[in-house]
Amino acid sequence: MDNKIKKSSSCIAGAKKFNITPYLLILPMTLLFVAFTYYPFAKAIFLSFSVTKRSGDFAKWVGFSNWIRIFSKTEFWQIVWVTLKFALINLVFTLGIAMFFALLSATRVPGGKAYQMLFSLPMAIASAPTAAIWTFLFKQQGGILNWILGTSYAWTQETSTALMACAIVNIWMNIGASFIFLLVGFRNVPDELMESATIDGASPLRKVFSIQIPMASPQIFFVVFLSIITSFTAFAPIRLLTNGGPANSTTTLIYSVYKNAIINGRFETACVYSMALFLLIFIVTRIQFYFENRMVHYQ
Amino acid sequence: MIMNKNRTKKIAKRTISYVLKLALGIIFIMPLIFAVCYSIKPESLITVTPPNFFTKTPTLEHFKWVLVNLPFLNYIKNSFIVCIISIVCQVVFASLAAYAFAFFDFKGKGFFFTFAITAMMIPADIVIIINYATIQKWGLVNTYLGLAFPTLISGTSVFMMRQYYLTIPKSIKDAAVIDGCSDMRFLFKIAIPLSVPTIASLSLYLFVIIYNLFLWPLLVTNTETRRTVQIGMSMLVTSERIEYGPLLAGAVCCILPVVLVFLFGQDYIVKGMVAGAVKG
C-alpha cells in the first residue's frame, strides 16, 4: 500500500519535472526551419520595403516605394498575366491528359503496371534534361516536332509559340505525378458502384462523368491546385528554352525574381516579385481550401 | 458455343485495349526514345528529316565527347554527394523531431508541430534568393554544404515520419521504459529499425526531388568542380552553338540514374508522394 502511494506520487512528480529531451529532439529541425524558411521569408518581406546593396544587404528603409514603383509599371502586370496564362495552359493540358491516362488505367488488369509505368515515367526526369531533349525536338530546321505537325515554327524564338513551348515541356514533366494522384482517386471508386451502373445500362462515358469524376473529386481538386502551383514556380524550362524572351513573352514571376536578383543585382526588386509570387500562391491555396471544404465530395 | 464465342471476343477486346494503352504510353515517352536513338547517331545524321530511329552506323562518340570534354562524372559525383548529405540529414532530423511529436508530451508541442507544417506553406522558391545571400555570407558558395543546406529538412519528411511513429503503440514504449530502456535507446533500437520501409520510401522520394533541383544549384555553384549534373548538363543547352549530339548524350547520362531509381522504386516513391501531398 505504502509502496503504491509512493509510486504514484513519484509519477506525478515525474510528470511535472521538466524534461528537456523532446526539445533537444526538435532542435535541429527548428533551427533549420528558422534559418532557411522563416528567417528568409521575414527578410524578403523586410527587404521589399528597403533599398539594398548589391550583396543583398539592407541599406535604407524606403516604405512602399518599391511596391509602388513596380506595381505602377505595365511590365509587372504583363509578367503576372504571363504567369497566369502559363498556369492556365499547364492546368488544362496536364489535367486533361493525366485524367485520360488515369481513366484508361483505372481498371486493374494483369500487366497494367507496364503502361502505368510509361505514363508516370517523365515525372522522374528533371527539368534540365527535359528542356535539353525538347530543344532538340523544337528545332526549326529539321526539327521533329515541326516535321510531325508539318509546320516551320522557330518554337522557342517566336512570341506566338514561345510560351506554348515552355508549357509543353512543363506539361510533359508534370503529367506523371498528376496521373498517379488521379489513379488513386479512380481506384477508390467501389467496384459495386461501377457494376451496378453497368447493369442499369449506363454508357461508359456516363459512368465517367456521373460516377468516376465525382467520386474522385478530392484527388482532382488536389491535382488542379498542384498543377497551378508547380507552374507558378517552373523555372528551368523558361531559363533554358527562352530566357524569358522573346520580348518578355515568357517572363514569369519566378523568372523575374532570378533576373532581378542575379542578372540585374536588384535584390529589393527581386523581393517584391517573390512576395507577389507568394501572394499569388497564397490566394490560390486559400481558394483551394475554401472549395475543398464546401464542394468536394468525400465518401 | 455462343458462350465460347463471347469469351474469345472478350479476350480479343481486352488484348486490343491493352496493346493500345501500351502504344499510347510509348508515344507519351517518345521524347525519351528520340533522345536515346539520336544520341548514338553520327552528328551528320542528326539533323536529317524525316526522323528515323535506326542508324546503320551507331556511335558512342557523343558520350565520349561529353565524358572527355566535360567533367561529367564529376558532376554526377557532386549530385550524389549532395543527395546523400541531404537525405541522411533529413531522415535523421525528421526522425528525431517525429519521435518527439509522437512519443512525448511537452509544452509547446502543438506550436512546434504547426511551425513545421506551416513551413511547407512557404515555397522554397520564394525564399531562394535570401537563402543564396545567407550562403554567400557564410562563405559556402561552391561547397557541398552550401548546396545541401536548404534541403536538410522538410515538412514532408517530419510529417511522414510522425505519421509512421503514431502507428507504433505507446504501450510498447512504456514497457520498454519500465524495462530500463532509455528514450534514445528506444529510438535507435526500436523506432528507427521499425520504420525502415518508411525511411526507404522517404529517401527515394527525396532522391528524385533533390537530384532534379535546378535553380538552387544554379545559384550556389559557379565553378566546374562543384556543379551538379543538372547544371553541368544545362550548359550544353545554353552554349552559343548547340551541338545536338553531345546535348542528347548529356541528357541521357543525366536522367539514367534517376530513371533507374524510378523503375525499381516506383512503389516507394509513390508512397512518399502521396504522404507529401496529405499536408494540403
Mutate to test the interface with B, among A52, A133, A278 (most CBs of B within 10 A): A133
For chain B, the straight-line distance linking the first and the last C-alpha, in angstroms and rounded, comes to 55
* Residue A9 resides in a domain: no
Residues B241-269 pLDDT 10s: 788 888 899 999 999 988 998 888 888 88
Domain shared by B24 and B98, yes or no: no
A residues 136-195 lying closer than 8 A (beta carbon) to B: 136-137, 139, 141-144, 147, 172, 175, 177, 180-181, 184
Residues of A in contact with B259 (CB under 8 A): 121, 124-125
Check whether residue A51 and residue A106 sit in a common domain: no
Domain that holds residue B210: 70-278
Chain pair A-B, CB pairs under 8 angstroms: 256
Question: Does A131 reach chain B within 8 Å, measured CB to CB?
Answer: yes
Residues B41 and B80 in one domain: no
A13 pLDDT higher than 60: no
Task: Examine the domain organization and report whether B216 and B153 are in the same domain.
Answer: yes
Handedness of CA A14, A17, A18, A20 (dihedral sign): negative
Give the CA count within 13 Å in the CB-facing half-sphere of B10. 6
Asked if B38's CB is within 8 angstroms of A36's CB, the reply is no
Q: Which residue of A40, A235, A289 is in closest CB contact with B214?
A: A235
Which residue in B86, B88, B71 sits closest to B146, CA to CA? Answer: B86
Regarding whether B235 and B179 lie in a shared domain, the answer is yes
Domain boundary among B59, B80, B96: B59
Q: What integer pLDDT is reported at residue A295 of this predicted model?
A: 64
B95 and B23, same structural domain?
A: no
Residue B166 domain-assigned (yes or no):
yes
Q: Note whether A118 and A214 are same-domain residues.
A: yes
Chain B residues within an 8 Å CB radius of A111: 18
Position B211 scores a pLDDT of: 92
Higher pLDDT, B264 or A13: B264
Same domain, A50 and A184: no
Q: Which residues of A touch B34 (CB under 8 A)?
A: 133, 136-137, 144
Q: What domain count does chain A have?
A: 2
- For position A239, which CATH number holds? 1.10.3720.10
* pTM score: 0.87
Under a CB-based contact definition with an 8 Å cutoff, are residues A296 and A91 in contact?
A: no
- Any idea what DSSP says for residue B191? I
Residues A88 and A31 in one domain: no
Q: What is the pLDDT of residues B78-134, one digit of tens each?
A: 999 999 999 999 999 999 999 999 999 999 999 999 999 889 888 898 999 999 999
Half-sphere exposure of A285 (CA within 13 A, CB side): 16
Q: Answer whether residue B98 is part of any domain.
A: yes
Domain that holds residue A146: 74-294
Contact A291, A221 (CB under 8 A): yes
Do A160 and A241 lie in a common domain? yes
Average pLDDT over residues A3-14: 44
For residues B202 and B110, membership in a common domain is answered with yes
Residue B238 falls inside a structural domain: yes
Q: Is the pLDDT of residue A245 over 90?
A: no
Domain-located, residue B65: no
Rg (CA), chain B: 25
Query: Looking at the structure, do residues A183 and A56 belong to the same domain, yes or no?
Result: no
Query: Highest mean pLDDT: which of A2-11, A53-62, A173-182, A201-210?
Result: A173-182
Q: Tell whether the model's pLDDT for residue B157 goes beyond 80.
A: yes
B194, B245: one domain: yes
Concatenating the DSSP letter of every residue in A69-123 gives: HHHTSHHHHHHHHHHHHHHHHHHHHHHHHHHHHHHHHSS--TTHHHHHHHHHGGG
Is B53 in the same domain as B75? no
* Cβ neighbour number for residue B33 with a 10 Å cutoff: 12
Q: Pick from A66, A238, A64, A47: which is nearest to B132 by CA?
A: A47
Overall average pLDDT of the B150-163 stretch? 92
Burial degree of B238 (CB within 10 A; 0-12, 13-18, 19+):
middle
Distance from CA of B1 to the nearest CA of A (A): 24
Is B64 contained in some domain? no
Q: In this structure, what CATH number is given to the domain that contains residue B213?
A: 1.10.3720.10
Cβ contact A44–B28 (<8 Å)? no
Answer yes or no: is B261 within a domain: yes
Beta bridge partners of A61: A50
The yes-or-no verdict on residue A63 having pLDDT over 70 is yes
What's the pLDDT score for residue A12? 45
Q: Are residues B166 and B234 in the same domain?
A: yes
pLDDT > 70 fraction of chain A, expressed in percent and rounded? 93
Question: B55 and B77 share a domain?
Answer: no
C-alpha grid cell, residue A151 = 509546320
* Whether A170 and A258 share a structural domain: yes
State whether residue A61 is helix, strand or coil. strand
Number of domains composing chain B: 2
Q: Is residue A2 part of a domain?
A: no
% chain A with pLDDT above 90: 46
The answer to whether residue A15 sits within a structural domain is no
Q: What would the pLDDT profile of A67-97 be if each residue is shown by its tens digit?
A: 999 999 999 999 999 999 999 999 999 999 9
- Over residues B201-211, the mean pLDDT reads 91
CA distance B161 to B150: 19
All residues at 6 or more sequence positions from A117 whose CB lies less than 8 Å from its CB, including other chains: B25, B263, B266
Do both B55 and B172 map to the same domain?
Answer: no
B118 domain residue, yes or no? yes
What's at B19, amino acid-wise?
V
pLDDT at B59: 83
| A236 lies in the same domain as A203 | yes
Whether A253 maps to a domain, the answer reads yes
- B10 touching A (Cβ < 8 Å): no
A120 in the same domain as A88: yes
Average pLDDT over residues A41-45: 93
| Model confidence band, residue A298 (pLDDT cutoffs 50, 70, 90) | low
Residues B54 and B84 in one domain: no
Which pLDDT score, from 0 to 100, does residue B41 have? 85
Alpha carbon B258 to its chain centroid, in Å, reads 7
pLDDT band at A6 (very low <50, low <70, confident <90, very high): very low
Residues A34 and A115 in one domain: no
Does the pLDDT of residue A197 top 80, yes or no?
Answer: yes
- So what's the pLDDT on residue A10? 43
